[in-house]
Amino acid sequence: MQITAYAPATVANVACGFDILGFAVEKPGDTVTVNFKKTAGVKITKIIGNKNLPLDAVKNTAGYAVIKLLEYLNEKRGIEMELHKNMPLGSGLGSSAASSVAALLAVNKILGEPLTKEELIPFAMEGERLACGAAHADNVAPALLGGFTLIRSYDPLDVIKIKTPKNLFSAVIHPHVEVSTEDARKILKKQITLKQAITQWGNTAGLIAGLLQEDLGLIARSLQDVVIEPIRSLLIPGFNEVKAAALKAGALGCSISGSGPSIFALANSISKAQYIAKNMENEILKMKIKCDVFVSPINHEGAKIL
Ligand code: HSE
């Protein structure tokens, strides 16, 4: 019996929701194929698409998440798995989350689905802890559940899937410069002013209300980040130009995807998203930096068994 699962890329933070908001896109994404093996433990047999990731399961985010799951379930049967990486590391697209989520979903399935998707979130978070030192859930939750997800609380974990308007599309560009999430977290200030906090939570609440009320104007007004973007944007060449181009082309909003360097914009139609993405890409190409472009509807389903 062999099970393959797919988990999509995700845009974490969504401007104002640092560590508490994220959404899933249709592509790119990672797939993981799992099988039982004769001996106990977890073995990664192959990683296709990225030579730099460790095969040692304890050091690999997907392997480590599965080890934690098997420990929790007191599962003595061993698992072997093959990873198909379709997205670059350090891209801000939730690459580590996609691998661990796909691996967990596939392993949960082969074990007869002892846990729900929601119950897999803490194990995927362990993968994130290994990847960047912080067990943030704003990539793994939307990768698992799809749509927009809100992490209302980390302790205790309280994850809410937010109903998302049908006419919402995402344009993501990935400039080929690497930004490690760990480094991009280290440079953040530990404290913010009350004024910044008021602006930020107003926008976060506004964004959630906009999604629920399907009010694209409110979504557009709320897609602002006065805390993280001003600092992290310095790591992304041409960020201000890309953002200006996206807004000029009609984006509802534009900000850094996760910890960057990818930049996302939201739009009210797929053709608008394509147009916006083209204009964003042009700004990066002007700087002689290569760039990938991903345009897609919001992925409402999340990770799935293939
Ligand atoms: N919320 C995390 C961060 C997402 O911004 O560091 C990383 O993809």
Q: What is the mean pLDDT of each run of 10 residues along the chain (306 residues)?
A: 97 98 96 96 94 92 97 97 91 95 98 98 96 94 98 98 96 94 94 98 98 98 98 96 98 98 98 98 97 97 98
Last residue within a domain, chosen from 162, 187, 219: 162
Distance 268 CA to ligand 1 centre (A): 25
**Among 26, 128, 281, 283, which one carries the catalytic annotation?**
128
Same-domain status, 274 and 177: yes
Distance 128 CA to ligand 1 centre (A): 10
Q: What is the pLDDT of residue 90?
A: 86
Question: Is 181 known to be catalytic?
Answer: yes
Strand ranges of the sheet holding 291-297, from the earlier edge strand across to the other edge = 253-256, 263-267, 169-175, 291-297
Mutate to test the pocket of ligand 1, among 18, 154, 188 (most ligand atoms within 8 A of CB): 18
Q: What is the pLDDT of residue 289?
A: 97
Distance 13 CA to ligand 1 centre (A): 7
Q: What string of DSSP letters covers 78-97? A: EEEEEEE--S-TTSSS-HHH
**Among 4, 10, 181, 204, which one carries the catalytic annotation?**
181
Model's pTM, two decimal places? 0.97
Determine the structural domain holding residue 131 and report its residue range. 2-162
Same-domain status, 190 and 129: no
Please tell me the distance from the alpha carbon of residue 29 to that of residue 142, in angstroms, as a whole number. 13
Same-domain status, 28 and 95: yes
Q: For ligand 1, what atom is nearest to the CA of residue 18? A: 1
Same-domain status, 25 and 158: yes
Instruction: Answer whether 90's CB lies under 8 Å from 286's CB.
Output: no
> Ligand 1: which residue has its CA nearest to atom 1?
19
Q: In angstroms, what CA-CA distances link 90 with 24, 95, 103, 245, 289?
A: 17, 8, 19, 24, 16
Extended strands (E) in 49-184: 78-84, 148-154, 157-162, 169-175
Last residue within a domain, chosen from 145, 162, 179: 162
Tokens of 166: 């049908």
Instruction: Answer whether 231's CB lies under 8 Å from 196's CB.
Output: no
Please tell me the distance from the alpha carbon of residue 158 to that of residue 151, in angstroms, as a whole number. 6
Please tell me the distance from the alpha carbon of residue 132 to that of residue 157, in angstroms, as a whole number. 19
Report cis status (omega within 30 of 0) of the bond before 165: no
Q: What is the pLDDT of residue 51?
A: 80
Same-domain status, 48 and 68: yes
Q: Indicate whether 302 belongs to any domain.
A: no
Same-domain status, 270 and 213: yes
CATH of the domain at 179: 3.30.70.890
Ligand 1 — pocket residues by CB below 6 A? 12-13, 18-19, 92, 94, 136, 138-139, 181, 184-185, 258-259
Question: Is 10 known to be catalytic?
Answer: no
Last residue within a domain, chosen from 162, 191, 209: 162
Q: What is the pLDDT of residue 29?
A: 96
- Domain total in the chain: 2
